Amino acid sequence: MELRVCSKCVMPETHETIMYDAKGVCNICHQHDYKHEKIDWSAKEAEFKEIVDKYRNKGTYDCIIPFSGGKDSVFVLYTMMKKFKVKPLVVSFDHGFYRPHHLEQRDRILRQLGVDFMLFRPNQKIVRKLTLESLIRKGDFCWHCHTGVFSYPMHIAVKFKIPLLVWGESTAEYTSYNDFDNLDERDETAFNKWINLGITADDMVGMVGGEVEPRDLECYRYPKLRDLKAIDYRSICYGAYHQWDVRKHMEIINKELGWVGDEVEGVPQQYNFTKVECMMNGIRDYLKFIKRGYGRTTQLVTDDIRAGVLDREKGLAWVKECDGKKPASLKVFLDFVGITENEFNEIALKHAVSPWKCDPKDLKEGKELYDQKSWDLSFGEKNK
């Protein structure tokens, strides 16, 4: 069925937090107009420098950089070291789905920059249980990733008394949970508002049927607010103080660090810079299409249309060509969580957002990524 889409970009009515004005232009497009026309970014950057200077030389590290190795976290780490001259502790929560080339590139860049690096990989058998439970409850299997990525660096901040954390882009770039007038902080409010999908770690302990203990999920539980306040913490997005421009950032990290993109399931080759890290990105986008009628290509061309670097009609053509294909990686995911494709479809359809309707059986199959056969998910169904 046809969905209403923004008359300026191509984002449909099923997108979270979206609204349209009388001319059919979405609220996120208006935010981007405001971003380019109204904000004094020089003043914002000066404000950011003041925050960094406040926390500089107060301990072993000046700040924590939460790090995946994707384009955004690489740019933030490089900028914080080269422009703001900080000594960071780089902290990475390994959700278990990183692709081989990404891991090689991540480690090369960290060695090249010369940083202290802390990596945490949670119990992968528990991850499997959480993945399935999150899929059933929310139609989004990434609860362990959402919560772990945002809570684990906060635990490290408390443990080692490093009060400043610097994240990447603001959520105002793609949703209306925040706008460019408001500080986008990765604090307890944000964690409970949209990061944890409305499910706490204690909730999840009960949901998985007594198969895990509360202490098994500590890394997914946000630290106590009193402990964070005791270190005078700030958890901020550089994108709230800096005019975010993905293509410019990629030019910088490619030139200075040799960061390169990779083939990404379900998107045009010209977008080989986004979500290159994760084996399961194709599944995540496929779920979004079943539930909401759009996928990763829609999000990418929308960004480029707003930035004025892509014609809307060409963007729509790319969306029609690429969104909505069943990923070849689906069979890998199904084996990992231990369900059939019919069960997967039934779960996904329960989370469909009106007025969108979809029959997954009508969707064409996409091509397999070149590295899929090298993925290690040996802790899947056979090791349940």
Q: Tell me how far apart the alpha carbons of residues 182 and 184 are, in angstroms, rounded to a whole number.
A: 6
Task: Please choose, from the candidates 60, 280, 66, 212, the residue with its C-alpha nearest in 3D space to the C-alpha of residue 152.
Answer: 66
Type of residue numbered 135: L
| 29-72: pLDDT as tens digits | 999 999 989 999 999 999 999 999 999 999 999 999 999 999 99
pTM to 2 decimals? 0.94
270 Cα distance to chain centroid: 20
Q: Tell me how far apart the alpha carbons of residues 72 and 80 are, in angstroms, rounded to a whole number.
A: 12
Q: Is 66 helix (H, G, I), strand (E, B) or coil?
A: strand
Cβ(330)–Cβ(290) below 8 Å = no
Residue 178 pLDDT grade (very low, low, confident, very high; cuts 50, 70, 90)? low
Whether pLDDT at 380 is above 60:
no
> 124-133, 140-149, 208-217, 346-355: lowest mean pLDDT where?
208-217
pLDDT of res. 235 = 97
Whether pLDDT at 250 is above 60:
yes
* φ, ψ dihedrals at 12, nearest 5°: -85, 170
Q: Tell me how far apart the alpha carbons of residues 151 and 133 are, in angstroms, rounded to a whole number.
A: 19
pLDDT of res. 78 = 98
Tokens of 204: 């999840």
- Residue 185 exposure: Cα atoms within 13 Å on the Cβ side: 11
Q: What percent of the chain has pLDDT over 90?
A: 89
